[in-house]
Structure 1
Amino acid sequence: MISVLVVDDDFMVARLHRKLVERTPGFTAAGEAHTGAEALSAVARLRPDLVLLDLYLPDLSGLEVLRRLRAADDTAGAEPDVLVVTAAREVDSVRGALRGGAVHYLIKPFDGPVLQERLRDYARRRGQLAALDAPGQDDVDRVFGAAAVSRLPKGLSRESAALVRRALTEAGGDLSATECAERSGLSRASARRYLEYWVSTGRAGVSLRYGATGRPERRFHWSGG
């Protein structure tokens, strides 16, 4: 099990994120912290594998917490991975998170399944790393996500695209936009947009299913890649 410390100054948000962690197979919530000082103390005490870190905290900024985690001055040598979960959209914040070694940067607000998909991505990378001995370039590219979507049309996000891709790849067959929406947690309209995007890239296919009456239903399947 991957243990996760949730750090957010909003008690309700922290509770929500904790529930999402606990509902994600393979993860367990180690605890919560609501200030920077509490976060550093909790890391030293609980030694979690991963920290969900808000940048807006009442005492220390999240970036300062990240810096101290990497310096290990206040955490008894514990150095967990960090996934930034914040409303901060400033370029300097994103740059600071990258420099601090954050595994990802998730901007609030977002749908719950998006956070769970990020957790699953982290678990996959962690498992890939654990299985490597003398990695080649292809192995490294997979771990660092070099094959991930690099450019998406305006209005589409990598996280939601990944949710739809996951729904298709795990379906074991084809899906309608409604079925994909149910599996991914997105609205039907959003799921349809991402399905059409994947079709446009050639990584998903579409076929028509004709019923007794009415318009044919578009059915989508993952083509590979």
Structure 2
Amino acid sequence: MLVVDNAIDAAAEVHGDPWVEVELRQDASGVEIVVRDSGPGVAPELAREVFTRGFTTKAAQGGERGIGLALTQLVCTRRGGEVAVANTLDGAVFTAHLPAQYAERRNSLDNTVISGQTDVDRLLTRPAAAPAAPAPATPKGMSAETTRLVTTALRTAEGTLLASECAGLIGISRVSARRYLEHLMTTGSVDVSVRYGMAGRPERRYRWRST
């Protein structure tokens, strides 16, 4: 709802008939929420800053501003997902993606009947963690030794690593490092955050998930 609220405000800045479109997609990889608006879009030089807490283009009003997109990114990245912004000829497009485990939970709610606040509280309460499943076997074409090297690089890094940085530390190609890092993300061992710079593609940064 925070992204939708921002989209409504942005659409209102443009003359004509403002509109906001929300699309929910789901496949085997997870759930994707796409919010489009007819506003002025996001300037390329602000594509990173819009996800920074406190950043706002709105006039000062009562209460804290500039937390909606920062909170959205925090929620997505902590759950192994990501959020991105792009511009089209119509306006801005914000896309939030959550992995398959959250798609499965959404499916379980499809036939749920909500009759009161007790039902809402029950659904919003995170269920008790299930016992940890055995670590999956290393995928075909990937070695256990390289997996250990990538794991060590992440665990000893101060902060996050790009795939290229990880590759340089252990002596493999960036493409190979990216493959191992993405594999570790799917096993729940690694958190991924997306950083938006002034130009070029967003950077995927990887951090070992503390237990």
Does TM-score exceed 0.5, indicating one fold? no
Under TM normalisation by the shorter chain, which class is it? Answer: 0.3 to 0.5
Higher RCO structure (Cα 8 Å, ≥6 apart): 2
When the two structures are superposed, what TM-score results if normalisation uses the length of structure 2?
0.35
